[in-house]
Structure 1
């Protein structure tokens, strides 16, 4: 089964068009000639963004990610956020053209399936069709442990309530995406709505439903206790890691 694109048509709402155009204009001006293409994912390109609730997710593809200085990029984000307070935050992912083409089940998946191209030539069009399979699911989760460890560490050390809330939401999302990847062979489509992900996980994963409900409640609750959340998150990740290891072992024995 071939995995289809999440956003089939770009439908940016009128109140967000100036923001998107301004961000892209500033990035291109700051990093002249160093950017191949710019993409978005999430609610803004889908046309479902909510003012003062939704964030903005960009991806920059370039020849060499080291050409994109994060401090200069952060300065652009800060200026734009002051000008457009309806955006809660701006996240920008940076990768190389080689990343996209040489890692089709990781970066290729991200650019081809999750994102839509807003500037430049869409390198995702050069990524071969992505087949849903155990090999794809394993490749997709190559960096999951590293990312989970990173955000776990950031959350444990966060002293600011705003940052704690952001990390909890980000951690929850990462876990839901990881669990959802396990049921792709059952659903046949990638889902980026957390509520729909949750329902599919409950339908197809052999995980304690109360644990998933607790994780979802933590995702929604801006005042959840950090230790309480980490207890739930750690248990969810243990289930995911065991399921992924079982999948890898089964693939090895079959091969």
Structure 2
């Protein structure tokens, strides 16, 4: 893998590996594997994956969260989501070295579908590390840093912003500080990833590092660079300050959504 995150053939290299997991997080990963296998069993579970800073080897104990993708044989049910939530709660309770657990559920059919080929498919093939079961990446193509990939991964920010505004308004009135921090982390990370994929085809590579993504974005949009650095900062260490969240949702966000649509177009609608 070169400095732009590409393999020798110019396709995006898969990031992360189990042997990069730092010692502090090995017990967390082992427990996650056991919980998933015991909860879903072979009848429901096809495979499970890690993603984020833990398999990349860049996690910070007490700050980083644990991110998991679970692929089921069939479409996830309410019971499946409840089971995943219970797994997340147990891991978060038992391991102080993580700050929260995020678990994505999807069916094999959805992950391999043509509609998801350049979104969920790319995510699994390039950003996820196999943890349990057969690796679905073997059934997906190799990806390049193209405008098509940019559009299908993050070309829906304009649709997401109203939802963020509603959650931010509710959080300002009734949510706990922990809820506001979780929201700011979500918004910060998604904003940086959208900013990076906006310039990804011009830069010609891939990174998931928030700080690097913000700095690369700033090369092409220097007038917005400081705001994007703020987004990267709260993506790593979330802030309960509503003014920071407001800046991202009501200032940087609308501009970024409009620029993204102008450059790459809008993501294909999902059912």
TM > 0.5: yes
- Which residue does the alignment assign to 1:52? 62
What is residue 6 of structure 2 aligned with on the other side? none
Bigger mean CA deviation after superposition, 3-12 or 186-195? 3-12
Deviation at residue 45 of structure 1 after TM alignment:
1.2
Bigger drift between 200-209 and 48-57 goes to 200-209
Do residues 78 (structure 1) and 78 (structure 2) align? no
Query: What CA distance in whole angstroms lies between the structure 1 residues aligned with 2:137 and 2:225?
Result: 36
Are 1:42 and 2:52 matched, yes or no? yes
Give ranges in structure 2 of 5+ residues lacking alignment.
Answer: 1-9, 266-271
Instruction: Specify which of 122, 130, 136 is matched with residue 117 of structure 1.
Output: 130
CA–CA separation in structure 1 for the residues paired with 2:239 and 2:31: 33
Answer whether contact 1:108 1:127 (CA < 8 A) is retained.
yes
What displacement does 1:6 show?
Answer: 2.4
Change (3 A) 1:146 1:63: farther
| Contact in 2 for aligned 1:40/1:58 (Cα 8 Å) | yes
Q: Over aligned residues, Cα RMSD in angstroms?
A: 2.3
Aligned to 2:220: 204
Q: How does 1:11-26 map to 2 (within 5 A)?
A: 11-26=20-35
Could you tell me which residue of structure 1 aligns to residue 165 of structure 2?
152
- Mapped partners of 2:142, 2:94: distance in 1: 40
Query: Does the aligned pair in 2 maintain the 1:207–1:239 contact within 8 Å?
Result: no
Q: TM-score, normalised by structure 2?
A: 0.82
Instruction: Note the residue ranges of structure 1 that are not aligned, 5 or more in a row.
Output: 250-255
Contact 1:104 1:130 in 2 (8 A): no
User: Where does residue 230 of structure 1 map in the other structure?
Assistant: 246
Aligned residue for 2:50, secondary structure, equals: strand
TM-score (norm 1): 0.87
How far off its partner does 1:217 sit?
5.1
Question: Following TM superposition, by how much is the alpha carbon of 1:53 offset from its aligned partner in structure 2, in angstroms?
Answer: 1.2
The superposition leaves residues 183-224 of structure 1 with CA deviations (integer Å, 9 ceiling, x where unpaired) of: 111232221111101100001236433433443455566555
The reply to whether residue 240 of structure 1 matches residue 251 of structure 2 is no
C-alpha distance in 2, partners of 1:235/1:199?
19
8 A contact 1:137–1:182 mirrored in 2: yes
**How many residues in Structure 1 have an aligned counterpart in Structure 2?**
249
| Distance across 2 between alignment mates of 1:216 and 1:13 | 22
User: Which deviates the most, 157-166 or 20-29?
Assistant: 20-29
Deviations 1:26-60 (A, max 9, x none): 12211222011100111211222221111100000
